[in-house]
């Protein structure tokens, strides 16, 4: 089974672990097409070659790099002609031109097609994006959704093909793993891994801990447009000395960052054009056996399951109660940390995601050849 995956996300080295796991299946010849770099509002991300065993990582030129909806790979039709894939995996949303461009090239080599979507809000796009999306939904053979609500969105937009919920990427449990914590530190609450924006709800956490007694501190890692407002809010609430804004760091340093925490909180809030699609930081913290607390925004409750605590969006008092209860009960923290890691091992590792993805591949290809 020859498979070509097209994925700008796989410029990130740790995401390539899933590709190695996929390539372990002896009946797959996997080629992954990536750009030499990807650019967004946070900067330029050059291609990392970290996990490259067992498959071909093919670097292809990209036009409109940094334009989420408009980028595409002009050499994709030639790549398909050279490889003659049985299946093309489009690791892109259905309303992006890269998806449409590759989808139209696939039938020329009689390849089946599969796309990925995170979109968990029913959004109507203006032309030409609505036209591209409609075409992709009509002509794709299968879809992978990153969360349960994305399936509902696909059906509401009249997608009638097969679909399965599988996270885009997992974590490496040998890298994100528990470690002993230092003694004598304050109760450390982590949040805000990634972009600091209003919808991530860090201000809700600040209001919650402002009424919390005892020796504690909050650690945030990342940057973004909400940072200045959060610094101001911390001063106004009188907690600035307990709030630490840590600089972003490479992904391979994140396990050590998580394991210094006693608790990780994801207080996201739904907005008209956004709600939490997965919550990767939750899975990374859980893999490190750090207990987690999350709001009921989007996919968060489905990620946490029974391995952590959930509170209603914006409910400051409920969040404060959860934090206080876990701070005062080390045994409960240990129990939830163990449950969280077990949940990750069962559902969210690269190996598990790859296994479920492989099963989808076989279903599509066997339907054709069987």
| Digit-coded pLDDT (tens) for 297-320 | 999 999 999 999 999 999 999 999
- Superfamily designation of domain 2-170+349-369: Glycogen Phosphorylase B; (3.40.50.2000)
- The answer to whether 182 and 28 have CB atoms below 8 angstroms apart is no
Q: Is 160 exposed, middle or buried (0-12, 13-18, 19+ CB in 10 A)?
A: exposed
Give the Cα separation of 151 and 157 in Å (integer).
10
In angstroms, the CA 261 to CA 284 distance is 12
How far apart are alpha carbons 100 and 139 in whole angstroms? Answer: 10
Distance CA(177)–CA(258), nearest Å, equals: 9
Phi-psi region of 14 (alpha: psi -120 to 50; beta: other; left: phi over 0): alpha
Q: What is the pLDDT of residue 368?
A: 63
pLDDT tens for residues 57-77? 999 999 999 999 999 999 999
Position 37 confidence tier, pLDDT thresholds 50, 70, 90: very high
pLDDT given for residue 370 in this prediction: 46
- What's the mean pLDDT in 199-211? 96
**Other Cβ atoms closer than 10 A to 197:** 17
More confident residue, 269 or 253: 269
Rounded mean pLDDT of the chain? 94
Q: How far is CA 24 from CA 54, 179, 351, in A?
A: 7, 29, 10
| Same fold yes or no, 2-170+349-369 and 187-347 | yes
Comparing CA positions, the residue from 263, 257, 238 lying closest to residue 187 is 263
For residue 2, how many other CB atoms are within 10 A of its CB?
Answer: 16
- Of the chain, the percentage scoring pLDDT greater than 90 comes to 88
Question: To the nearest 5 percent, what fractions of the chain are helix, strand and coil?
Answer: 40, 20, 40
In the numeric block, which tokens belong to residue 259? 């394991």
Over residues 161-188, the pLDDT tens digits come to 999 999 988 999 999 999 887 676 899 9
Q: How confident is the model at residue 118 (pLDDT cuts 50, 70, 90)?
A: very high
> Cis ω on the peptide bond leading into residue 105 (within 30° of 0)?
no
Domain ranges of the chain: 2-170+349-369, 187-347
Strand partners, 246: 221
Single out the residue of 19, 66, 74, 26 nearest to residue 42, CA to CA: 66
Tell me the average pLDDT across 268-275: 94
Superfamily of segment(s) 187-347: Glycogen Phosphorylase B; (3.40.50.2000)
Q: At what angle do helices 97-105 and 76-83 cross, to 10 degrees?
A: 40
Residue 369: pLDDT band (50, 70, 90) is low
Least confident of 250-254, 298-302, 313-317, 324-328: 250-254
């Amino acid at each position: 089974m020859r498979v070509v995956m097209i994925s700008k996300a796989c410029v990130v080295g740790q995401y390539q672990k899933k590709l190695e796991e996929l390539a372990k299946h002896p009946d797959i010849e996997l080629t992954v097409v990536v750009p030499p770099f990807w650019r967004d509002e946070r900067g330029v991300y050059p291609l990392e070659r970290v996990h490259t065993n067992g498959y071909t990582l093919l670097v292809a030129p990209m036009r409109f790099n940094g334009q989420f909806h408009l980028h595409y790979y002009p050499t994709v039709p030639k790549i398909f002609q050279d490889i003659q894939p049985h299946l093309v995996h489009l690791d892109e949303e259905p309303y992006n031109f890269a998806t449409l461009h590759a989808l139209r090239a696939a039938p020329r080599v009689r390849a089946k097609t599969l796309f990925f979507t995170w979109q968990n809000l029913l959004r109507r796009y203006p032309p030409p994006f609505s036209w591209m999306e409609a075409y992709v939904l009509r002509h794709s053979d299968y879809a992978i959704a990153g969360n349960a609500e994305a399936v509902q969105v696909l059906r509401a937009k009249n997608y009638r093909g097969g679909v399965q919920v599988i996270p885009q990427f997992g974590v490496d449990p040998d890298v994100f793993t528990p470690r002993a914590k230092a003694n004598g530190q304050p109760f450390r609450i982590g949040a805000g891994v990634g972009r600091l924006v209003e919808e991530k709800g860090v201000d809700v956490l600040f209001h919650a801990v402002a009424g919390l007694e005892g020796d504690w501190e909050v650690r945030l890692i990342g940057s973004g447009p909400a940072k200045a407002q959060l610094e101001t809010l911390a001063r106004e609430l009188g907690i600035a000395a307990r709030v630490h804004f840590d600089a972003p760091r490479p992904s391979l340093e994140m396990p050590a960052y998580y394991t210094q925490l006693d608790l990780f909180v994801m207080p996201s809030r739904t907005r008209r054009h956004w709600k939490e699609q997965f919550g990767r930081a939750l899975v990374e913290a859980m893999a490190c056996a750090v207990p987690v607390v999350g709001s009921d925004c989007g996919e968060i409750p489905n990620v946490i399951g029974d391995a952590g605590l959930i509170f209603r969006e914006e409910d400051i008092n409920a969040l404060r109660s959860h934090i206080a209860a876990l701070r005062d009960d080390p045994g409960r923290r240990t129990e939830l940390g163990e449950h969280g890691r077990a949940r990750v091992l069962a559902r969210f590792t690269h190996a598990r995601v790859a296994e479920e993805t492989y099963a989808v591949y076989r279903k599509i290809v066997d339907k054709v050849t069987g």
